[in-house]
């Protein structure tokens, strides 16, 4: 099955790296001005050491990586013609995504892409795509961009984790703007074997049926408190999957050093139980702006590897 690589993994990483990410020694949050944030983001993309990042991932024992292509701001760490046509003042010249995919592949680690088309801190993006006034137009833009990415990177993207799928307006979680069948066709245009999950309900109980569309469940958690009832006990009978941020938040956007939320024993016990019950877990890392995994998470993951990878 397409999802076998998830099922056969003991754990992977859910890596959040955005235009708001800080370094360990930064003293204040990123500026509220988007243009200033984007200049810092451009610099961070240029300086990101993909080789060191992949080496650190390998040392954690993770079998796959889910990594943010974007989040609160709509920016992408690579050049995309379809994006430049829409918004020409956000061009990134380096193809960091390709480098990360290739560096991870050298270690046999699968890359999965996180995508969020909302741009919820990005007023210019939301105005351009008429996010609030014309949800269907916004959806079509998301289809177009993700199809272009899929067609460009093909088998390099083994899967997609699509966020924000429950929103029409932020205070209304009763509906969605997306045609999920159409969305999946775009996401898998360049790689028919890519697996897809749509984050329908965030960390709330999973109530929506995406049977035959979602290959695995988004499984976003705020605490280590959910367990599978078998391999295919995810939403709509999909592969059971969970991810949880393991330090201060999904993104390291508050000054200070990252500190683990859980003890090594708590995390090891959770992953072991999830695996025994047929599920897969992704350990959420708030990557530093320079592309390095925080020391606390490196240390904890090495302890997890020491125990779980010897079983």
Given this model, what pLDDT does residue 168 score?
56
Chunked into runs of 10 residues, the chain (311 residues) has average pLDDT values of 95 97 93 91 97 98 98 96 94 97 98 95 94 92 98 98 76 71 97 94 55 91 95 92 94 92 97 97 96 96 93 56
Record the pTM.
0.95
Question: Residue 175: what pLDDT?
Answer: 64
What pLDDT, on a 0 to 100 scale, did the predictor assign at position 210?
80
Give the residue among 100, 95, 136, 103 at the shortest CA–CA distance from 117: 136
CATH of the domain at 250: 3.20.20.80
Query: Could you tell me the CA-to-CA distances from 27 to 22, 256, 277, 288 in Å, in that order?
Result: 9, 7, 43, 13
* Structural domain boundaries enclosing 66: 4-308
pLDDT at 170: 53
* Residue 92, CB-side half-sphere exposure with 13 Å CA sphere: 27
At 184 the pLDDT is: 97
Task: Give the H/E segment covering residue 186.
Answer: helix 180-187
Contact at 8 Å (CB) between 262 and 246? yes
CA diameter of the chain: 54
pLDDT of residue 172: 53
DSSP β-ladder status, 241-245 and 280-286: parallel
Give the C-alpha separation, 267 to 283, whole Å: 9
Contact 110, 5 (CB under 8 A): yes
- How many domains does the chain contain in total? 1
């Amino acid at each position: 099955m397409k999802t076998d690589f998830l099922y056969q993994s003991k754990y992977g990483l859910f890596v959040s790296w955005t235009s708001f990410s800080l370094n360990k020694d930064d003293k204040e949050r990123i500026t509220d001005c988007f243009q200033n944030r984007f200049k810092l983001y451009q610099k961070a993309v240029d300086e990101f050491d993909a080789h060191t990042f992949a080496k650190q991932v390998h040392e954690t024992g993770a079998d796959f990586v889910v990594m943010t292509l974007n989040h609160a701001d709509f920016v992408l760490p690579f050049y995309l013609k379809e994006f430049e046509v829409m918004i020409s003042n956000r061009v990134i010249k380096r193809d960091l995504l390709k480098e990360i995919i290739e560096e991870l592949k050298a270690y046999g680690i699968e890359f999965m892409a996180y995508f969020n088309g909302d741009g919820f801190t990005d007023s210019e993006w939301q105005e351009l795509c008429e996010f609030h006034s014309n949800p269907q137009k916004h959806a079509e833009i998301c289809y177009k961009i993700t199809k272009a990415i899929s067609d460009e990177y093909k088998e390099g993207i083994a899967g997609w984790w699509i966020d924000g799928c429950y929103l029409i307006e932020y205070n209304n979680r009763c509906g969605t703007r997306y045609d999920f069948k159409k969305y999946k066709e775009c996401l898998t245009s360049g790689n028919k074997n890519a697996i897809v999950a749509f984050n329908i309900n965030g960390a709330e109980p999973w109530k929506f049926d995406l049977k035959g569309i979602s290959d695995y469940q988004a499984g976003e958690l705020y605490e280590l408190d959910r367990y599978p009832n078998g391999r295919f006990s995810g939403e709509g009978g999909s592969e059971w999957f969970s991810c949880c941020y393991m330090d201060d938040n999904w993104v390291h956007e508050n000054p200070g050093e990252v500190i683990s939320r859980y003890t090594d024993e708590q995390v090891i016990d959770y992953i072991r139980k999830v695996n025994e019950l047929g599920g897969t877990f992704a350990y959420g890392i708030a990557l530093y702006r320079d592309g390095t995994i925080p020391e606390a998470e490196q240390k904890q993951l090495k302890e997890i590897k020491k125990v779980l990878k010897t079983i």
